[in-house]
Structure 1
Amino acid sequence: MDGQISLADVWYWILALLLWLYVFTDGFDLGVGILCLLEGNESRRGVMVETIEGVWHANQTWLVMLGGVLFGAFPLVYGTVLAALYLPAGFLLFALMARGIGLEYRAEAAEKRRWTGVFGWGSVAVTVAHGILLGSILQGMAFDGLRYTGGAFDWFSPFTILVCATLLCLYPMFAAAWLVLKTEGELQDAARLWGLRFGSGAVGCLVLLVGYIALDGHLGHLVGRPGQGGLSPMFIVLLVVAVLNAALYFRALGKGWERRPLLYCAVMLVFVFLAFGTSLYPMIVPTGVTAASAASPPQMLRIMLYVVGGLLPVVLFYNAYQYRVFRGKALPEDEA
């Protein structure tokens, strides 16, 4: 039994790592799509799209691995949670398709504005779907054992709306840092302004989110205090470090630095994940499903550890190589 719990713990944190990699890398992809809706110049929108055309497919590998690990290591979570959230999960699939269609068709179309719009609104839809799914799981789901007993629309709540708002600011914040790194001139200046605006919005939404959690005793499990109000000391410390990294992000934008804003975004997200991950542990689906109770048999977890342990470095190398190949500044489409 001890071995099973230990292996389940390992997979809990592997799952968290894959989720962080997906949220960060696909986050700035989606953020670029959202920012395209704010940019009126089609030539500059083309440069924005150009910054991610070489890497967005690679970023999607983390979503594939995330789904595979969830299915293999925690099949009961995969089956019960997705069944309970089939409406937002289905919406996510259609939104992902719309976002991909917009990107691919735009590259070949003579009239690019229409497909840029499809890419942009598809990115908004994916972000909203992310917020609904993440918020629904974090706020807690009604289970009798491992059987979902809640309603089909329990995912619609003030908490999930606030999570959606947070991501709608957070992803463009990441994208602004990415565009600062990958562009120059007027577009880079615009990206710095977007970074300041959406960064402020993201920090504000995160503060509101934490305040909402602190005041709602039913959400105490998110901060390490099940059934209680207030915030645990560890949660506060980790979140303060995250906010300090956000402050460094703003400073880096003001100083005109190009690489540091994206780095501070990544570190900030690490501490946000640690704050919630350590508070929720060992729960994998609040409020009663633990990693140990939902995990596959120990032998399956060991086999998966060997397989994923060998595969993960390959995927990391593939992604790193992809970014190396497409390093440097993006050029206007007529110069690329």
Structure 2
Amino acid sequence: MDAFMTLADVWYWILAFLLWLYVFTDGFDLGIGILCLLEKSEARQSVMIETIEGVWHANQTWLVMLGGVLFGAFPLVYGTVLAALYLPAGFLLFALMARGIGIEYRAEVADKRFWTRTFGWGSVAVTVAHGILLGAILQGMAFDGLRYVGGVFDWFSPFTILVTATLLCLYPMFAAAWLVLKTEGGLQDAARLWGLRFGSGAVGCLVLLVGYIALDGRLGHLVGRPGASGLSPAFILLLVVAVLNAALYFRALGKGWERRPLMYCASMLFFVFLAFGTSLFPMIVPPGVTAAIAASPEPMLRIMLYVIGGFMPVVLFYNAYQYRVFRGKAVPEDEV
């Protein structure tokens, strides 16, 4: 039993790591789509999309890995939670298709406006679906054994709205940092302004979100205090570190640095994940489904550890190689 619990815990943190990688890398992809809706110049839109054309497929591998780990290591979560959230999950699938179709078809047509909007609004829709799914799971789901006993629209709440608003600011913040690294000239200057605006919005939404959690005792499980209001010291400490990284992000933008804004985005997200992950552990679906309850039998977890453990370095190398191949700045043909 101890070994089983240990393996379940290991897979809990592997899942959290994969989720962090997906949210960060696909986050700036989606943020590019959102920012394309704000940029009116078609030439600049082309440069923005060019910065991710070489890597966005690689970024999607983390979503595939997430689905595989969830299906193999935590079948209870895969089989029951996703079924309970079939409306936002279905919306996510259609949004992913719209976003992908938009970015692929845009490159093949002369008049790019329709497909640019398809890519942009598809990115918004994916972000909204992310917020709803993440918020619905974090706020807690009602299960009686393996049976979901909640309502069809329990996922719609002030908490999920706040989570969605946070992601709608966070992803463009990541994208702005990416554009600062990958572009130059007027577009880079615009990206710095977007970074300041959306970064301020993301920090503000995060503060509102944490305040809401602190006041609502039903969400106490998110900060390691089930059934109680207020924030735990460990949760506060990790969020303070996250906010300090956000401050360093703003400073890096102001100093004109190119690489550091994206690095601080990654580290800020890491500490936000660590704050919630350590507070929730060992729960994988609050308020009562732990990693041990949701996990596959020990032999399955052990086999998966060997297989995924051997496959993970390959995926990491593939992604790193993609970024190396497509390193450098995206330079427009004409002055934009």
Q: Supply the RMSD in Å over aligned alpha carbons.
A: 0.8
Within the alignment, does 1:128 sit opposite 2:89 as a pair?
Answer: no
Gaps of 5+ in 2: none
Partner of 1:231: 231
User: Contact 2:99/2:122 (CA < 8 Å) preserved in 1?
Assistant: yes
Partner of 2:184: 184
Matched residue type, 1:42: E
Partner of 2:244: 244
Partner of 1:285: 285
Partner of 1:16: 16
User: Contact 1:223/1:235 (CA < 8 Å) preserved in 2?
Assistant: yes
User: Contact 2:184/2:331 (CA < 8 Å) preserved in 1?
Assistant: no
Matched residue type, 1:184: E
CA deviations 1:235-268 (Å, max 9, x no partner) are 0000000000000000000000000000000000
Partner of 2:146: 146
Q: Secondary structure at 1:284's aligned position in 2?
A: strand
Q: Secondary structure at 2:110's aligned position in 1?
A: coil
CA deviations 1:52-108 (Å, max 9, x no partner) are 000000000000000000000000110000010000000000000000000000010
> TM-score of the superposition, structure 2-length normalised?
0.99
Partner of 2:60: 60
Matched residue type, 1:107: A
Distance 2:117 2:330 in 1: 20
Partner of 2:36: 36
Within the alignment, does 1:194 sit opposite 2:194 as a pair?
Answer: yes
Taking the TM superposition and a 5 Å limit, the aligned residue runs for 1:149-228 are: 149-228=149-228
Distance 2:274 2:261 in 1: 20
User: Contact 1:235/1:275 (CA < 8 Å) preserved in 2?
Assistant: yes
Partner of 1:27: 27
CA deviations 1:18-49 (Å, max 9, x no partner) are 00000000000000000000000000000000
Distance 2:185 2:294 in 1: 51
Partner of 2:266: 266
Query: How far off is 1:332 after superposition?
Result: 2.1
Q: Secondary structure at 1:154's aligned position in 2?
A: coil
Within the alignment, does 1:329 sit opposite 2:332 as a pair?
Answer: no
Partner of 2:111: 111
Query: How far off is 1:334 after superposition?
Result: 7.1
Query: How far off is 1:145 after superposition?
Result: 1.6
Q: Secondary structure at 1:100's aligned position in 2?
A: helix
The count of corresponding residues between Structure 1 and Structure 2 is: 335
Partner of 2:99: 99
CA deviations 1:294-327 (Å, max 9, x no partner) are 1000000000000000000000000000000000
Matched residue type, 2:52: I
Distance 1:331 1:30 in 2: 21
Query: How far off is 1:147 after superposition?
Result: 1.2
Identity %: 88
> TM-score of the superposition, structure 1-length normalised?
0.99
Structure 1 residue runs of 4+, over 6 Å off? none
Query: How far off is 1:333 after superposition?
Result: 6.0
Matched residue type, 2:149: T
Summarize the Cα distance change of 1:333–1:101 in structure 2 as closer, same or farther, 3 Å threshold: farther
Distance 2:329 2:60 in 1: 22
User: Contact 1:182/1:329 (CA < 8 Å) preserved in 2?
Assistant: yes
Distance 2:208 2:217 in 1: 15
Matched residue type, 2:58: A
Q: Secondary structure at 1:108's aligned position in 2?
A: coil
Q: Secondary structure at 1:277's aligned position in 2?
A: helix
Matched residue type, 2:140: G
